[in-house]
Structure formats: C-alpha cells, structure tokens
Structure 1
Amino acid sequence: MGDKQTRDHIVDAADRLFYENGYEHTSFAHIAESVKISRGNFYYHFRSKDEILDAVITLRLANTQRMLEQWEQEAQTPIERIRKFIDMLIVNQAPILRHGCPVGTLCTELAKLNHAGRAQANTLFTLFRAWLKRQFVALGRKSDADALAMHLLGRSQGVATLANALGDQRFVRREVQQLHTWLEQVVSIPSDSERKAKA
C-alpha cells in the first residue's frame, strides 16, 4: 500500500471512529488498530490527533460538496433539491439512530471541548446553509432565503438529535413528512417577484 493510500485509509478510519465513538474518546491506538498499521507508520503520516481531525474535516467537506453537486445534477428544480436534503434523514436513518448526525455531533463535541478545530468543523454547516439558501433564492424567496435555510438546517439537526436519543424510526418518518409539508407551504407563498408584480 502506497503512502497516499495508507494516509487515506487512516483518515477514513478516523472519520468513522470520530463519528461512532466521538473525537475525545478515539485515540491514536484505536485508529492504528483499525487500519492494522504500526504506531511508527502511523506517526509517519500524522503527528497529532489534531492533524487527523483537520484531515477528517477536509474529507467531510469534500464529500459533502460532491453530494451537493450530485443533487444539483439529479434534481432539475430547487424544490426537488431541497427534498433531497430533507430525505437525508431517511437515507441515513440507521446511523443517525445509532450515532446522531455526523456533522452535528462533531461540532457539538468540539464546542464543548472549546477545541481550536471548532470553527473549521462549523464550515460543514456553513456549506449546507449556503447551498440551501441558493435553493430558496431560486424559488423566489430572496428576502428570507437565509432564514428559511437556517430553519430547515436547525429542524433537521433537532430531528437527528432526538432520533438518536429516542431510537424511534416512526418519529423520523413523521418529522420528515412534516418537513415536506412545510416546504410545500413555503413554495405556495408568493415569491418576491410575484408580490412585487401584484403591488
């Protein structure tokens, strides 16, 4: 296995372990054991857990960006794209029930630790926020696009947190349906341009 492959393997394992066990409770030894490499080989690639955290966040940002770009290609309209965001709670229901939202849990843990990586981790939320805002702008809701994006982001995080706490699949399905209903109501409200045309 080449150096890049080994490094990528370490980052993938750390990403999974940070999600499943938390950043604070994942040690170098846990990651090294997971990838089946010696501690010496491990330290060749990463000298601190913070370096691994930086690489994990970079990986998550890249994966999230790719997912958003894929949604753009697969869905022709803004409402279809927003529906894909909402349906993430169903698509990822099993891991969310076990471990919560991978973005939310990491950001919350780093905030509690007052960790220096907190700001970088929060860029994951910023990426979703900006993408959702663009979709609401495209729906004609320019004046309140950011507020709508933050409402949906906050609501989805709340669902993920309670789903993890309660372990209730029916709750997730019910909340997802309510989010779709909310989106339909948002779409039914006249857009900025429509309101101006009537004025």
Structure 2
Amino acid sequence: MATKSERTQQRIIDAANQLFYRKGYNRTSFTDVVDEAEVPRGNIYYYFKTKEDMLRAVIKHRMETTRLMLSEWEKSIKTPLDRLERFVQIMYDSTPALLRSGCPMGSLNVELAKDQPELKNDAKQLFDLFQQWLAKQFAQMGYPEEARELSLELMARGQGIIVIAQVYQDPGFLERGTKEINRWLENLDRYA
C-alpha cells in the first residue's frame, strides 16, 4: 500500500501529466500543477525542484503505464495482427481527447523539439517504446527485415491522421484513417 507521501507525489505527477497534455509543457506553471493536484504549494517543491524534474517523472510514469499495457496485450491478445489492430484502436477510442489536444506523445515531442532538445530526448523514449514493440509485432507477422520500417510507417500514419483530424476537428477523418490503417495491416498479414 502506498504511503501518504507516495500518494501525494503521484497526485502531482497525474496533475502534471494532464496539464502537460492539455496545455502543453511550456504553458503549464507550478501554480497550475498545485491547483490541479490540490496540494499545498510547498509540497510540490518537496517532490520536484524544477519543472524539468516533474516532466521526467511524468515521462517515467507514462513509460511504466505503457509497458504494463503492452505487456497485458502480449498476454491477452493472441496474434500480432490483433495486437497491432488494438494499437490502432487507441486512436479511435481516444477521439475526443485527440481532437482537443492531439497525441500526448506527439504533441510533447513536437513542443520540446523546438528549443529544448535535452528534454525532447527524454520524451522520445515514449516513441521508442512503441516503435520497438510494434517492430516486434511486425517481425512476428513474418517481416523481420522490414519490421523497423513498418513500425515507423504505422506510427507516421497514425500521427498524420491525428494531426489532420485535430486541425480540421473531423472525427470522421480519424475513423476513416484508422480503418485504412487496419486494411493496410490486414493486407500485410495476408501476404506474410
């Protein structure tokens, strides 16, 4: 069972995670996090000396959550194609959030890439985790030589669809795009 201190720290991380996603990292202040987490201002400095420390804790939390999700998919979803389609389903399931704020990984990486390369390298770990997992699925489908390129293509297609759907506030585009990705995956599976 988590201690009161661990629960407070997690509340701060959860609040920062949501704010970094909704508002962006650079537009989120310590005060925003204090208000969202509903903790005394002094508490935040006890756990995080800088906003960069907070971002790194958020990235670590996202990585842990993602690893658990992917591990669960490995156990519960029988085929690599079904696991890849489950990955694509996240986009469709997240339509309202994606239309409002974009992809949590993509928007953070784009924001940090502009003038904070050291933090962007930390945030890139999220993409790396998905890319490696996706490549493993493609290799298991029968594409060991092309696995990396196919994983990058899948991520690029997804990110592009999310950006255009957000720009035009078009949930139908997101739905059609995810269906097209699934057709592409099914064709790959057929020819493997």
After TM superposition, the score normalised by the length of structure 2 is 0.96
2:85 to 83, 86, 91: 83
Structure 2 counterpart of 1:196: none
Moved more, 20-29 or 65-74: 65-74
Matched, 1:32 2:30: no
Unaligned runs of 5+ in 1: 192-199
* Offset of residue 37 of structure 1: 1.9
Structure 2 counterpart of 1:101: 103
Q: 3-state SS of the aligned residue for 1:172?
A: helix
**How far apart, in 2, do the equivalents of 1:71 and 1:120 lie?**
25
Structure 2 counterpart of 1:112: 114
Q: What do you get for the CA RMSD once the two structures are aligned?
A: 1.1
Moved more, 180-189 or 4-13: 180-189
* Offset of residue 74 of structure 1: 2.1
2:75 to 73, 76, 83: 73
Structure 1 counterpart of 2:146: 144
After TM superposition, the score normalised by the length of structure 1 is 0.92
- Equivalent residue runs for 1:1-199 within 5 Å: 2-189=4-191, 191=192
**How far apart, in 1, do the equivalents of 2:188 and 2:154 lie?**
11
* Offset of residue 153 of structure 1: 0.6
**How far apart, in 2, do the equivalents of 1:18 and 1:55 lie?**
12
- Report sequence identity in percent: 36
Number of equivalences:
190
**How far apart, in 1, do the equivalents of 2:47 and 2:166 lie?**
34
Residues 104-150 of structure 1 show CA distances to partners (whole Å, capped at 9, x for unaligned) of 00011110122421111101001111001001110111111111111
Moved more, 60-69 or 20-29: 60-69
Moved more, 162-171 or 109-118: 109-118
